């Protein structure tokens, strides 16, 4: 565990970048430092690998003051990823990734073999191994940055706005990849960002810093969204924190209606009876995959016309997706009903906005959101 203990950083010009900060960073989890630009996130991160020395206070790694080991030994035990990757432009991708193993004295061959292994782990095609950084896209460079940080298998990973400079689609891919890698490797990650959505998505714990380098709140993201400590945090979370908080409630409890789901080859009788529960019927193909919504009268008249069905919006997977995804599906659906599907995409039922609303109220009444539903 990394313990930041009453740390203050005053730069020579008098700027107080971090002010009396204390944090306990849990092992094998992602701790996010989030806050507006200039609030001391980078300074805090850099104090952990001693690129910046605190003016006051101390930082402990597994109970031992980080000043007790040689600075380069400390740094080689902590991967570091930054915005724009900071790759060595004069080295190939493979040699970039092999940097720290080489510094640790591994043979060139062993270091390169390890580097190739990491390329696969971060989703890079090994055919890129002999390329140079300028030949890669921003997103690929960032993956190389992550692979390079992981190369010597350090227990700790420090990440400073690693995904800020790439476009939103690529960023989402990188975030998902990081979560996947973290599931496999279980590193102690300290992740800096100014993007609260990124913080909520990635963080097991989120530390919100305010300008002047003071801690505003340190909590799991779901708690941050439900009980912000003060107006600053509330403001920083943005206007739709109620909706975003739904990400943390599982959709397992939703009661699904199966009657309005009919296969395209169902008999007219079935079509007529399905219409009682819902204003529309969800028509599926013979495999059970949703095709679209149809009015019961039209359907009963025996005129199932695939082209005249209304689009069914974005379906959700009960148990896997959160209430937020379910609500989103209902809001997007022209009928106001969300479609639930199984992992194979077969319709398992439908649920209305109203029913989702009831589930939300029930979940709130029960209190604690489920952190696992976040993603």
Partner 1 sequence: MSGFFDIPSDLQHSYLGLIGLHLREALLPVLAGLLVSLPLAQLCVRFRWLYAPVLGLTIVLYAIPSLAFFVVLIDYTGQTETTVMIPLAVYSLVVLVPAIVDGVRSVPPETLAAATAMGFGPVRRYLQVQLPIAVPAIIAGLRVATVSSISLVSVGMLIGNQGALGNLLNDANIYHRPELAVTSVLTIAALAILADVALILVRLLLTPWMPRKGAVR
Ligand X SMILES: Nc1ncnc2c1ncn2[C@@H]1O[C@H](COP(=O)(O)OP(=O)(O)O)[C@@H](O)[C@H]1O
Binding site for ligand X (CB under 6 A): 11, 13, 15, 17, 37-43
Establish if 51 lies at the interface with partner 1 (CB under 8 A): yes
Minimum CB–partner distance for residue 143 and Mg ion (Å) = 21
- Find, among 194, 188, 220, 233, the residue nearest to 373 by Cα: 220
Q: Find which of Mg ion, partner 1, ligand X, none residue 143 binds, CB within 5 to 8 Å per kind.
A: none
Is residue 60 within 8 A of residue 5, CB to CB? The reply is yes
**What is the DSSP track for 239-250?**
TTHHHHHGGGSB
Nearer CB in complex with ligand X: 187/210? 210
Extended strands (E) in 162-213 = 188-193, 205-210
Q: Find which of partner 1, ligand X, Mg ion, none residue 91 binds, CB within 5 to 8 Å per kind.
A: partner 1
Binding residue (CB under 8 A) for partner 1 from 64, 73, 109, 127 = 73
Nearer CB in complex with partner 1: 137/354? 137
Q: Which residue has the tokens 């002999």?
A: 130
Tokens describing residue 238: 């943005």
Backbone angles phi, psi at 292, to 5 degrees: 160, 175
Nearer CB in complex with ligand X: 26/212? 212
Establish if 100 lies at the interface with partner 1 (CB under 8 A): yes
Tokens describing residue 291: 């095709």
Residues 6+ apart with CB under 8 A from 270: 262
Nearer CB in complex with Mg ion: 42/335? 42
Please list the residues that pair with 21 across neighbouring strands: 7
Stretch 148-187: interaction string toward partner 1, x if CB under 8 A: x---------x-----------------------------
d(CA 44, CA 207): 11
Q: Find which of Mg ion, partner 1, ligand X, none residue 17 binds, CB within 5 to 8 Å per kind.
A: ligand X
Query: Site residues for Mg ion, window 37-76 (CB under 5 A)?
Result: 42
Tokens describing residue 308: 């005249």
Q: Find which of ligand X, Mg ion, partner 1, none residue 15 binds, CB within 5 to 8 Å per kind.
A: ligand X
Phi-psi domain of 212 (left: phi exceeds 0; alpha: psi -120 through 50; beta: other): left
Residues that bind partner 1 (CB under 8 A): 49, 51, 71-76, 78, 80, 82-92, 99-100, 103, 132-135, 137, 145, 148, 158
Chain residues binding Mg ion by CB under 5 A are 42
């Amino acid at each position: 565990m990394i313990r930041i203990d009453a740390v203050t950083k005053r730069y020579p010009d008098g700027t107080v970048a971090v002010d009396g900060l204390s944090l306990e960073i849990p092992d094998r989890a992602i701790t996010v430092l989030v806050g507006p630009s200039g609030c001391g996130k980078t300074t805090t991160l850099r104090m952990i690998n001693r690129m910046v020395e605190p003016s006051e206070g101390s930082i402990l790694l597994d109970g031992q003051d980080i000043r007790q080991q040689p600075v380069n030994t400390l740094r080689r035990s902590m991967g570091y990823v930054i915005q724009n990757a900071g790759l060595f432009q004069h080295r190939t991708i493979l040699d970039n990734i092999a940097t720290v193993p080489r510094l640790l004295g591994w043979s060139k061959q062993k270091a390169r073999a390890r580097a190739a292994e990491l390329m696969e782990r971060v989703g890079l095609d090994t055919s890129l191994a002999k390329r140079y950084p300028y030949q890669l896209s921003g997103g690929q460079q960032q993956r190389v940055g992550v692979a390079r940080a992981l190369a010597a298998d350090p227990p700790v990973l420090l990440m400073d706005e690693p995904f800020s400079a790439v476009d939103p689609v690529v960023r989402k891919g990188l975030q998902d990849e990081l979560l996947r890698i973290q599931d496999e490797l279980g590193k102690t990650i300290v992740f800096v960002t100014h993007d609260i959505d990124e913080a909520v998505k990635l963080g097991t714990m989120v530390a919100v810093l305010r300008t002047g380098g003071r801690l505003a709140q340190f909590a799991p993201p779901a708690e941050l969204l439900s009980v912000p400590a003060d107006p600053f945090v509330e403001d920083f979370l943005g206007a739709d924190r109620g909706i975003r908080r739904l990400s943390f409630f599982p959709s397992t409890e939703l009661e699904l209606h199966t009657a309005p789901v009919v296969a395209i080859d169902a008999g007219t009788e079935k079509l007529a009876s399905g219409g009682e529960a819902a204003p529309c019927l969800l028509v599926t193909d013979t495999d059970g995959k949703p095709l679209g919504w149809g009015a019961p009268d039209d359907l009963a008249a025996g005129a199932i016309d695939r082209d005249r069905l209304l689009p069914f919006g974005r379906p959700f997977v009960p148990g896997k997706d959160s209430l937020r995804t379910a609500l989103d599906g209902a809001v997007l659906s022209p009928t106001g009903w969300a479609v639930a599907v199984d992992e194979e995409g077969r319709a398992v039922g439908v649920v209305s906005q109203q029913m989702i609303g009831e589930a939300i109220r029930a979940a709130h009444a029960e209190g604690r959101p489920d952190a696992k539903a976040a993603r």
